[in-house]
Amino acid sequence: MIWNEPIETMPPEDLKNLQSERLVSLVRYVYERCPLYKKKFDEIGVLPSDIKGIEDITQLPFTTKMDMRDSYPWGLFSRPRTDLVEIHVSSGTTGNPTLVGYTRDDIRLWGEVMARALCCAGAERDDTIQIAYGYGLFTGGLGFHYGAMEMGLTIIPISSGQTKRQIKIMQDIQPRILACTPSYCLYMVDAAKEMGIDPRSSSWQIAVLGAEPWSEAMCHEIEQAWDLLATDIYGLSEICGPGVAQECPYKSGLHLCSDVFYPEVIDPETGRPVPEGQDGELVITTLTKQGVPMIRYRTRDIVSMTHEPCRCGRTSPRTSKIKGRTDDMIVVRGINVFPSQIEHVLLGIEGTHPHYQIVIDRKEHKLDEVEIVVEVDETIFSDEIKRMHAIEQKIKKEIESVLSIGVNVRLVEPKTIARSEGKAQRVIDKRQL
Amino acid sequence: MKIKQLSVFLENRKGRLYEVCLILGQAGINIRALTIAETETFGVLRMVVDKPAAAVESFRRHSITANLTDVVAVEVPDTPGGLAGVLKILTEHDLNVEYMYGFVEKFSENALLVFRFDEPDRAYQVLTSAGVNVIGEHDIEGL
């Protein structure tokens, strides 16, 4: 089933006209309402009247995470707080978090694109969905919730965690749809087996998985283990959260809602578009958002894109799975982590600048495990074990509070962390992504 | 009088203690007393050596984290109840022992113990005024 047939199967020419109309009014909207955008446009001498159609989008400046951080909290907003109905916060690269806000229409838009995504994955109106993404400031849980509400599905808002309970509820209520991160989906396989349940007998037939990068191999493994269809969903809180793009059962890329989120794929060095089908950085403009519209937002995600028609009938462009990042961000259990956040915490402890390394591993289908390896120098060393444990705990607690995920801290001797050309490798990712 | 304890940070790795002792040996430093406190992943080697400052210097050159801490070396009668007698004084004065260990060698006819206190200065005062013999750096060099 296609949720919004007129839009999702719109002929390319009509879609282009719609995008053009929307871009023209968006540019006028942000120029009038958001001083930061006005300043950015003025700096390069672009006036709203210069933007006459979607092809003029390349004249506009990029927006980056840095812009969000520097103008925290309200600088990129185009509406006053009284117009907002919801706010989500994700951790920023250093110091300030990233704050996004939604007007009532923005929430409706989110519900709309999420309903499209769920249908795209294969959901039907009379389905029940188990939403095992975290609810709260993280956009995963609520995004799925709004989409499922819009579609009229029966929702089990169980949120993440409590694995045995997830399995029990699945057995008792028999939902056909499961939504969670791919690693959690795989993690639940062992839990089911431990409970004496054959995962292949589960009621889940469709899984909508996202918020972290995952490979074709992992997808295959999930499908085999649970005997279901595992589909990939893409989104980021700066754009709206999940629902930006979604894989259909033909699995030839993720259908991107380009009538509302206009995509470009650029060379991250030059900022110029790359030819269709080539890898580049995904840049998105939110054509209809009101609260925090994004003009050419640099997602830092590397993808390729195609406009070739898909067998499912949708005319929207399709992106590949995420192939990498143009920055050092890593995704752990669906949470974005920047090495600079950890550096910031370590700097704040005893005012030192110890060498550290972040080791991420996913042992035998278990969840991602993060270990922070810290070299012990004279400033943090003590002859008393209790002081060393206190330092270890302090580092652990502060990093956990910044990242919102559990970490282990391991203290090691100086020069243990390998340095190449004097520079330590900050992240060791042992996961097979 | 307080003496300096040499403390070394060590990961729980095979052969690591050997490497540390080798460095001391090559630097001509003699170990008088030692103990290891261990955790699951790391340990702290605590030693009394004849040339503590030189030892820290050699460790620094080998990128090994080490520091010096004030401890009190106390002569304890090598008879039943000898240690209890010393601890009684400490308890009466509300002095908390963080940890303690013994010297390899005897000092005259008595055992020699190293005490790590939170308040080493007060501990020294209390012990000496109670007539307990506290050993100085000089005595250790002569061992």
Is a pLDDT exceeding 80 seen at residue B1? no
The pLDDT of residue A227:
97
Q: Which residue has the higher pLDDT, B32 or A95?
A: B32
Architecture of domain A81-327: 3-Layer(aba) Sandwich (3.40)
Q: Which of B7, B23, B65 to mutate to test the interface with A (most CBs of A within 10 A)?
A: B65
Do the chains contact at A412 and B46, CB–CB below 8 Å? no
User: B67 has which bridge partners?
Assistant: B7
The pLDDT of residue A355:
80
Domain ranges for chain A, please list them.
Answer: 81-327, 335-429
Using DSSP bridges, classify how beta strands A206-210 and A177-180 pair: parallel, antiparallel or unpaired.
parallel
- Render pLDDT for A381-394 as a digit per residue (tens, 0 to 9): 999 999 999 999 99
pLDDT confidence of A257, banded at 50, 70, 90? Answer: very high
The pLDDT of residue A424:
61
Q: Which residue is listed with tokens 């493994």?
A: A221
- CB contact at 8 A, A247 and A255: yes
Q: Which residue has the higher pLDDT, B133 or A86?
A: A86
Global ipTM: 0.86
The pLDDT of residue A186:
87
Q: At A83, list the tokens.
A: 């117009």
Do the chains contact at B37 and A385, CB–CB below 8 Å? yes
Measured between CA atoms, the residue of chain B closest to residue A412 is B11
Do the chains contact at B11 and A385, CB–CB below 8 Å? no
- CB contact at 8 A, A83 and A290: yes
Closest CA to A405 of A364, A373, A356, A360: A360
In three-state secondary structure terms, B37 is strand
Q: Which residues contact A11 (CB under 8 A, 6 or more apart)?
A: A315
Is a pLDDT exceeding 80 seen at residue A143? yes
Residue A211 to residue A93: CA distance in whole angstroms: 17
Residue length, chain B? 143
Residue B28 to residue B48: CA distance in whole angstroms: 14
- Render pLDDT for A288-332 as a digit per residue (tens, 0 to 9): 999 999 999 999 999 999 999 999 999 999 999 998 888 888 888
Q: How close, in Å, is residue B39 to chain A by CA atoms?
A: 8
Using DSSP bridges, classify how beta strands A423-424 and A427-429 pair: parallel, antiparallel or unpaired.
unpaired
The pLDDT of residue A212:
84
Chain B partners of A384 at a C-beta cutoff of 8 Å?
44, 98-99, 116
Q: Which residues 39-68 of B have a C-beta within 8 angstroms of A?
A: 39, 41-42, 44, 46, 63-67
| Domains defined for chain B, CATH in brackets | 3-69 (3.30.2130.10), 70-141 (3.30.2130.10)
Nearest by CB to B67, which of A381, A410, A416?
Answer: A381
- CB contact at 8 A, A249 and A272: no
Chain B partners of A389 at a C-beta cutoff of 8 Å?
39
pLDDT confidence of B65, banded at 50, 70, 90? Answer: very high
Chain B partners of A377 at a C-beta cutoff of 8 Å?
65
Topology at the third CATH level for domain A335-429: GMP Synthetase; Chain A, domain 3 (3.30.300)
- Render pLDDT for B76-106 as a digit per residue (tens, 0 to 9): 988 899 999 999 999 999 999 999 999 877 7
The pLDDT of residue A351:
57
Chain A with chain B: Cβ pairs closer than 8 A: 50
Q: How close, in Å, is residue B87 to chain A by CA atoms?
A: 20
Q: What percent of chain B has pLDDT over 70?
A: 97
Pick from A14-23, A195-204, A243-252, A397-406: least confident: A397-406
Q: Which residue has the higher pLDDT, A366 or B72?
A: B72
pLDDT confidence of A267, banded at 50, 70, 90? Answer: very high
The pLDDT of residue A131:
98
Half-sphere exposure of A287 (CA within 13 A, CB side): 22
Tell whether A413 is within 8 A of chain B (Cβ).
Answer: yes
Tell whether B6 is within 8 A of chain A (Cβ).
Answer: no
